[in-house]
Amino acid sequence: MNDFITPFQKAHLKEYKAVLNAIREYKKIAIFRHIHPDFDALGSAYGLKEWIHANFMDKDIKVLGDNHDDLTPRLYPKTNTVPNSWFMEPFLAIILDTPNKRRIADPRYVHAEFTIKIDHHPFIEGIGDIELINHQVTSTAELLVDMLLSYKMKLSQKAARYFYTGIVGDSGRFEYTPTNSHTFEIADHLVSTGFDLNEVYRAMYLREQNDLTVISYILSHYQLSKHGVAYFVLTKKELAKFHITTNQGKDHVNLFHYVNGIHIWCAITEDLKEKCFRVSLRSETIDISKVASKWRGGGHKNASGAKLTSLSELDDFINDLDQLIR
């Protein structure tokens, strides 16, 4: 496997070298990712932390950002509070899986002496001294592992397991575009470290019986627009009734994948903290990202997020999606 060379390792050679130099140079490294973290944001962050730790024992590495109400600490460690004084000395900031400043989960990246952004979202704005961006990969984890393998250094089983959750999460278990032979090659390197695949999938996807009750509710209450947008709404009333969080509600969005006649599907779930309705949007082929941007969000061509300030906006929002299908 030592002669493993990918097209991205050639294309990004300059950035890959610069990232390694920066990691070598700084004793203090802070890893940032986006708010409302998912498998890829958390898997990338903790995988990178473990990789740096295994190869450079003397580094002081912090992972920053809000905790997830379900995934931490079940699958990833809880983030510790880091005092402001830590950011007073020069440090390297590595921002993962986040295309814009607004969605970085801790604002203290601004104090960094040197900043690197590593991301697979479409470019929104420059944040880093190095911008390593590639949307031909399923996930930030896939891109990171491609880079780390090029260094031919130690990849521990623990780091590999974290990265694997990132790839599996964002690729929908190796299903969504652009999953391809590169994704499987990277996954092969990770799985070869020997972690227990069954244990990983169980940790990622174990459901409660209560989830079946929620699914039953969604399947009997979802709406279908004229041209094929399926959507369901979970207000604070339903969230309380089923004892679930906003994240747990929106995670059911893919119930409507692979249904004939449904071209776009979305979960619309009330968020009491942000006083809005968070929307998870998905499609098979239609580019939904522009409509997501119009409605206070963004994301990828076939997987985006948006926000409605109230349900009075719902009809206009669904109408915008309907127009995409027409």
Q: Nearest CA to 31 among 88, 109, 122?
A: 109
SS3 at position 296: coil
Tally DSSP H helices, then E strands, for the chain.
Answer: 13, 11
Radius of gyration of the chain (CA): 20
Binding residue for ligand AMP (CB under 6 A) from 23, 148, 303, 308? Answer: 303
51, 155 Cβ separation under 8 angstroms: yes
Q: Indicate whether 65 belongs to the interface with ligand AMP (CB under 6 A).
A: no
User: d(Cα 125, Cα 100) in Å, to the nearest integer?
Assistant: 6
Q: Which residue is nearest to ligand AMP (CB)?
A: 305
Binding residue for ligand AMP (CB under 6 A) from 177, 255, 307, 322? Answer: 307
Q: Nearest CA to 16 among 179, 150, 211?
A: 150
Positions 95 through 134 that interact with ligand AMP (CB under 6 A): 103
Residue closer to ligand AMP, measured from CB, 49 or 250: 250
Segment interacting with ligand AMP (CB under 6 A) among 51-59, 174-182, 210-218, 298-306? 298-306
Question: How far lies 318's CA from each of 36, 128, 291, 304, 314, in Å?
Answer: 23, 36, 10, 14, 6
Residue closer to ligand AMP, measured from CB, 169 or 189: 169
Positions 32 through 61 that interact with ligand AMP (CB under 6 A): 34, 38
Q: Which residues pair with 118 in a beta bridge?
A: 96, 132
Q: Indicate whether 158 belongs to the interface with ligand AMP (CB under 6 A).
A: no
Contacting residues for 226 by C-beta, under 8 A, at least 6 apart: 322
Burial track 235-247 (b if 16+ CB lie within 10 A, e otherwise): eeebbeeeebebb
Residue closer to ligand AMP, measured from CB, 54 or 255: 255
Binding residue for ligand AMP (CB under 6 A) from 304, 317, 318, 321? Answer: 304
Segment interacting with ligand AMP (CB under 6 A) among 16-24, 214-222, 291-299, 308-316? 291-299
Minimum separation from the CB atom of position 17 to ligand AMP (A): 28
Minimum separation from the CB atom of position 178 to ligand AMP (A): 14
Minimum separation from the CB atom of position 102 to ligand AMP (A): 8
Q: Indicate whether 135 belongs to the interface with ligand AMP (CB under 6 A).
A: no
Element (H, E) at 95: strand 92-96
Q: Indicate whether 283 belongs to the interface with ligand AMP (CB under 6 A).
A: no
Segment interacting with ligand AMP (CB under 6 A) among 87-95, 193-201, 202-210, 299-307? 299-307
Binding residue for ligand AMP (CB under 6 A) from 45, 299, 308, 317? Answer: 299
Segment interacting with ligand AMP (CB under 6 A) among 1-9, 211-219, 304-312, 314-322? 304-312
User: d(Cα 264, Cα 229) in Å, to the nearest integer?
Assistant: 5
Minimum separation from the CB atom of position 58 to ligand AMP (A): 33
45, 63 Cβ separation under 8 angstroms: yes
Residues binding ligand AMP (CB under 6 A): 34, 38, 103, 280, 297-300, 303-305, 307
